[in-house]
Chain A
Amino acid sequence: MLYAVLCYHDEAITGSWTPAEESAVVDRLIAVHDKYGDRFRPVLRLMPASTAMNMKSGAAVMTDGPFAETKEQLLGIYTLDVDGLDDAVAIVADLSAANPTANYELRPLIAYITDAAFGPVQSIEGAQRDGSH
């Protein structure tokens, strides 16, 4: 069973973390990854919302900024391949304990185009270079 775990946080707060505070959170999250190993599928961190662009229906042009002006931003996406809901909830509980000021949403996933979603993931650096001409 595939799930997405969406991590939300206020970027103003995560952007105010000191390097020490940030690495403490990251270390705890890595420990959760190590604990569940192969049940984690692609894990992606979103760049800050100021890098976002959006296209509203029918507008045909991209405008700057994320869609909604909310207090919280989507920070990252985990995808899980687990036996059932209980497993997924246990993982979310551990993630939440590792990053207690973040909010997590759990959503079952339908594998749409399986190869594209779960095949080899292009490295982030590679993607940057390709996008840079």
Chain B
Amino acid sequence: MARTDDYRATFAAARPRAMAALLRYFRDLDRAEDAFQEACVRALSAWPRNSPPRDATGWLILVGRNAQVDALRRQQKVANEAGGIVADTAVGGEPDMIERLDQSHFRDDILRLLFTCCHRDLPPAQQIAVALRVISGLSVVQISRAFLVSEAAMEQRITRAKARIAKAELSYEAPGALERVERLAAVGKMLYLLFNEGYTAADPASDRATLCAEAIRLVRLLLEMFPAEPELMGLLALMLLQHSRAAARFDAGGSPILLDDQDRRLWNRDAIGEGIALIDKAMRHRAPGPYQIQAAIAALHARAESPADTDWHQIDQLYQALERHAPSPVTTLNRAVAVARLRGAAAALEMIAPLSEALDGYFYYHGVRGIFLKEIGHQEEARRALLRAMSLASTPAEAVHVRREIELLEHGVVR
């Protein structure tokens, strides 16, 4: 019998598609998961070592479905013999499901599977946790490590979230065009949050950092299903471009290294190349959106061979476009960084002054403001802003970084 490791990548690759088809058939997340699990177990004894069947996904769907149907029939038989009420076994589904495993059908299945995790009553962190468990097949242990909570707490969180999803009664009809657009937007946002969870992790080898790879993998899958959606191209491009800097973003002690100070030779050129190819392709659609614009900004940074080569003028313009498409004080704050490079810190300070209320509890606002104030020589105000930033730091690495800035301010050197 083969070992799970022999087919780890095959199972991982098949899982989203297989789960999507099984969910449509059983209309129940737990049953779909059990079916897939059973199919994987059977594959280990049925597949010759290192050579899965040509259509591994189709095999897993078929075997998983049949196994689960048999199990449900047995349960029902036991219930009948015990004189129980005949349960609705939900072994209905669509009889021709397997015959209809073509791409057009798959894409709505996969979108539905991803969308089930985006239940609006669930807080984003729970949406992500369920997606990682159900779609990616990460173990509860892995997910709990990524979220820095206990295994028991994560188990409970996922169970509760799933119960809530089960009550939601999601439509299993093919969605209409408008509904499809709405689902895509919700799913894109969830995957963007998943990526950001991983992106804030200090250690590129940590459990948390694998979240970035998983987000990229799922957006790739979605883009394969919807190849002409420019915002999906933009989202994948954005993730690839941000992730390309993973090896350069933190020092050996886990403190963040700012863009200007990063060793650009450590940037992943393959990821940058793919990101740029995708954003170039997306822009041909002339339908800009927030992900495309953010990806275009990231691409300008990625293209600059040194910090001095950065096209701040165009970055400023792109942030202005982003302000129109998705107005937010954080966007304005980001734009202010470009403005500081173009027109000086005084101009940037003027720009962010109206944000003081909206961003009062935001680490980066006070950090950036402190740096601007320092640049125009307002040492005491700068110190106060940086201290405020330090009190808002959400990771030790952020706190260390701000402390270093304060020490530079007070002593002119880092002790």
A50, B227: Cβ atoms closer than 8 Å: yes
The range of chain A's interface size is 20 to 34
Q: Nearest chain-B residue to A73 (Cβ)?
A: B224
Q: Return the contact of A71 from the options B55, B272, B274 (Cβ within 8 A).
A: B55
Give A124 to B303 CA distance when docked, in angstroms. Answer: 13
Contact assessment for B274 and A10 in the assembled complex, using a CB-CB cutoff below 8 Å: no
Select from chain B the residue with minimum beta-carbon distance to A63: B228
Q: Which residue of chain A lies nearest to B204 when distances are taken between CB atoms in the complex?
A: A19
Contacts A64-B228, A132-B303 given; does A10 touch B13 at CB 8 Å: yes
- A-chain residues with CB within 8 Å of residue B221 when the two chains form the complex: 12
CB of A15 within 8 A of CB of B13, answer yes
Q: What is the minimal beta-carbon distance from A129 to any residue of chain B, in angstroms?
A: 7
Any A CB within 8 A of the CB of B105: no
Stretch at the interface among B64-72, B87-95, B157-165, B276-284: B276-284
Residue of B whose beta carbon sits closest to that of A49: B224
Cβ–Cβ contact B217 & A16, under 8 A: yes
Among B8, B14, B273, B278, contact of A50 (Cβ-Cβ < 8 Å): B278
Expressed in whole angstroms, the Cα–Cα distance for A10 and B55 within the complex equals: 10
Q: Tell me how far the C-beta of B198 lies from the nearest C-beta in chain A, rounded to whole angstroms.
A: 14
Decide if the interface of chain B is mainly helix, strand, loop or mixed: helix
B213, B224, B278: most-surrounded residue (chain A CB, <10 A): B224
CB of B220 within 8 A of CB of A15, answer yes
A14 to B269, CA, bound (A): 18
Residues of A within 8 A of B413 (CB): none
Q: Are B9 and A13 in contact (CB under 8 A)?
A: yes
Q: Which residues of B contact A53 (CB under 8 A)?
A: 281
Q: Are A15 and B217 in contact (CB under 8 A)?
A: yes
B223 at the interface (CB under 8 A from A): yes
List the A residue with the shortest CB-CB distance to B14.
A12
Which of B113-163 touch A at CB < 8 Å? Answer: none
A70 to chain B, nearest CB (A): 10
Instruction: Decide yes or no whether B236 CB sits under 8 A from chain A.
Output: yes
B227 touches A65 (CB 8 A): yes
- A119 part of interface (Cβ distance < 8 Å): no
Chain B residues near A48: list those with CB within 8 A.
220, 274
Q: Given the complex, which residues of A lie within 8 Å of B278, measured CB to CB? A: 50-51
Q: Mark A60-72, 1 if CB is under 8 A from B, else 0.
A: 0011110001010
Residues 20-32 of A, flagged 1 when their CB comes within 8 A of B and 0 if not, give 0100000000000
A125 at the interface (CB under 8 A from B): yes
Q: Is the interface of A mostly helix, strand, loop or mixed?
A: mixed
Name the CB-closest residue of B to A47: B274
Write the nearest CB–CB distance from B256 to chain A, whole angstroms: 21
Answer yes or no: A36 CB below 8 A from chain B CBs: no
With A53-B281, A129-B303 as known contacts, state yes or no: A13 contacts B269, CB within 8 Å.
Answer: no
Closest chain B residue to A103, Cβ basis:
B54
Question: Smallest CB–CB gap between B188 and chain A, Å?
Answer: 15
- In the complex, the answer to whether B12 meets A16 with C-beta atoms within 8 Å is yes
Task: Give Cα distance in the complex from A16 to B103, angstroms.
Answer: 20
Interface residues of B in 1-55 (CB under 8 A from A): 8-10, 12-14, 17, 50-51, 54-55
Residues of A contacting B10 with CB < 8 Å? 13, 101
Report yes or no: B13 in contact with A13, Cβ–Cβ below 8 A.
yes
- Output the least CB separation between B55 and chain A (Å): 6
Are B280 and A131 in contact, with the CB atoms below 8 A? yes
The chain B residue with its CB closest to the CB of A72 is: B54
Residues of B within 8 A of A47 (CB): 273-274, 277
Bound form: Cα–Cα A50–B221 in Å: 9
Partner of B276, one of A15, A18, A128: A128
Interface string of B258-300 (1 = CB under 8 A from A): 0000000000010011101110110010000000000000010
**Residue from A16, A62, A63 in contact with B13 in the complex, judged by beta carbons closer than 8 Å:** A16
- B210 closest partner in A (C-beta): A18
Residues of B contacting A13 in the complex (Cβ-Cβ under 8 angstroms): 9-10, 13
Q: List 6 A-B contacts (CB under 8 A).
A: A13-B13, A47-B274, A47-B277, A49-B224, A50-B233, A124-B273
The 3 closest A-B pairs by CB, nearest first: A65-B227, A12-B13, A16-B12
Question: What would 12 more interface pairs be, CB under 8 Å, given A15-B217, A124-B269, A128-B303?
Answer: A15-B220, A16-B217, A18-B9, A21-B9, A71-B55, A100-B50, A101-B51, A125-B269, A128-B276, A129-B303, A131-B276, A132-B303
